[in-house]
Amino acid sequence: MNLSIIGLGKLGAPMAAVMAHKGHKVVGVDVNPAYVTAVQQGQAPVDEPGLAEMMRANRKRLSATMDYDQAILASDATFIIVPTPSDPDGTFSLRYVLAAAGKIGAALRKKDGWHLVVLSSTVMPGSVEQSVLPALEVYSGKKCGEEFGLCYNPEFIALGSVIHDMLNPDMVLIGESDRRSGEILAKLYAGVCESKPRIQRMNFVNAELTKLSVNTYVTTKISYANMLAQVCETLPGADVDAVTAALGCDSRIGPKYLKGALGYGGPCFPRDSVAFSALARMNGVPALLAEATDALNRRQVPRLVEMIFAHLPEGGTAGVLGLSYKPGTPVIEESQGLDLAKALLAKGVSVVVYDPAAMENARDRLKGHVTFAPSAAASATGADVLAITTPWAEFRGLKPSDLKPGSAVLDCWRLFADHSLGCGVRLLHLGIGGAVRETDPTEAVSAVEGD
């Protein structure tokens, strides 16, 4: 097919690359001229593993423009992947979606023949039927379901693995205006996805509600594991990893996202959970579970601050390893590590930070007595208390000689085994009963060095 993709950001650019990789001719549209130029030159406009290589390899089938008419008239289907920022009440704004819909509709007015419009941006239930569809009809002068089709097709992906997730989804979710539109999109994905996912087709409101429900359910699972970890810390001999490993064996629960550690972050989970709560309240339904999930998540950083102050000497320095919200991405939205560093700086603590990918993104967000270290080892050397907040694989390479003698390490993801850090370092594991380990330098053996 000939496809146009409106929005060449964190999701749009990978989708353009994936569709071109699968043999489709793709033209991207963006208001950012730098993004358009990058795609035209066969370069990735955003950072995402594997994206640059895939764009280079499929350059002949990829192009970009700032001209909606050019893109719409040259394609059979158009995907809208623009931001839907959160409004103060927690719901999602449609201002960018409706702006795109207006321009797409205006282009469709000039086009003969059927055209499929696909909205992939996350929106509130009711948005497609009540706002997006009418806008397309008004600007195009055409009737949805008769002269053009409309689908709601949100992605279930994670930054850092977007390309893999797009090629291997568990499910393809399609809210359709009519049967023809749903069948076209389902056929497209059947040829793109390598995992042979289940394709769920339904009306708009059910698809919109499903998107919010999936992420809200996952965040509830994460917060439950974190609550369990905190309970384990109060019980000698308790180990959250042992408990969650057993819980995950139950087919009703499953092991994914059942890791007692830090709170969830990123551009989707936090705001989707808040939006679900807002939706429930707007419709007179108590949002107790979603609100409790959000409250538990927001409690994680203050809890870490308390733990750090319990071991931080007067005038001491705290280290934070991990500023991205997860490994494999430079994204810092709702990052637990970044929020921890900000909270410590607000209390007048000197902080040294390091992240393999997110240092530049974090510089403007951290103000005060902050040092941006050139490596994990340099950050560890200068810290009286070191918190490992993002489980980057390279952090496992820390050696006893990298740590300040007498310091404490708050190992939030349990990357290190007991007695693995030596030098009299106090090793604190979240989720372990009696979490503080006073290591003896005479018996300490580095499990990391022995790997």
What CATH number is associated with residue 122?
Answer: 3.40.50.720
Instruction: Give the C-alpha separation, 343 to 412, whole Å.
Output: 17
Q: Is residue 213 part of a domain?
A: no
Of the candidates 144, 193, 232, 268, the residue annotated as catalytic is 268
Residue 268 is a catalytic residue: yes
Q: Is residue 216 part of a domain?
A: no
Helices (H), 283-434: 288-309, 336-346, 359-363, 376-381
Do 184 and 246 have their domain in common? no
Contact call for residues 325 and 361 (beta carbons, < 8 A): no
Question: Which amino acid, one-letter code, is at 409?
Answer: V
Do 94 and 42 have their domain in common? yes
Residue ending a domain, choose from 202, 223, 255:
202
Do 281 and 376 have their domain in common? yes
Do 193 and 247 have their domain in common? no
Each residue's pLDDT, cut to its tens digit, for the chain (451 residues) gives 999 999 999 999 999 999 999 999 999 999 999 999 999 999 999 999 999 999 999 999 999 999 999 999 999 999 999 999 999 999 999 999 999 999 999 999 999 999 999 999 999 999 999 999 999 999 999 999 999 999 999 999 999 999 999 999 999 999 999 999 999 999 999 999 999 999 999 999 999 999 999 999 999 999 999 999 999 999 999 999 999 999 999 999 999 999 999 999 999 999 999 999 999 999 999 999 999 999 999 999 999 999 999 999 999 999 999 999 999 999 999 999 999 999 999 999 999 999 999 999 999 999 889 999 999 999 999 999 999 999 999 999 999 999 998 999 999 999 998 766 766 788 999 999 975 444 433 333 222 233 3
The tally of domains found in the chain comes to 2
* SS3 at position 236: coil
The parent domain of residue 196 ranges over 2-202
Do 343 and 381 have their domain in common? yes
The neighbouring-strand residues paired with 28 are 5, 64
Instruction: Give the C-alpha separation, 261 to 230, whole Å.
Output: 9
Show the tokens assigned to 84: 């839907």
For residue 420, what are the CA distances in angstroms to 398, 401, 446? 10, 12, 4
Number of H helices, E strands in the chain: 16, 15
Do 164 and 250 have their domain in common? no
Show the tokens assigned to 382: 């200068």
Q: How crowded is residue 85: how many other Cβ atoms within 10 Å of its Cβ?
A: 10
Do 167 and 252 have their domain in common? no
Q: How crowded is residue 1: how many other Cβ atoms within 10 Å of its Cβ?
A: 16
Q: Is residue 46 part of a domain?
A: yes
Do 374 and 236 have their domain in common? yes
Q: Is residue 187 part of a domain?
A: yes
Do 269 and 338 have their domain in common? yes
Contact call for residues 69 and 27 (beta carbons, < 8 A): no
Q: Is residue 318 part of a domain?
A: yes
Q: How many residues does the chain have?
A: 451
Instruction: Give the C-alpha separation, 195 to 197, whole Å.
Output: 5
**Burial annotation 383-394 (CB, 10 A radius, 16+ → b, else e):** bbbbbbbbbbee
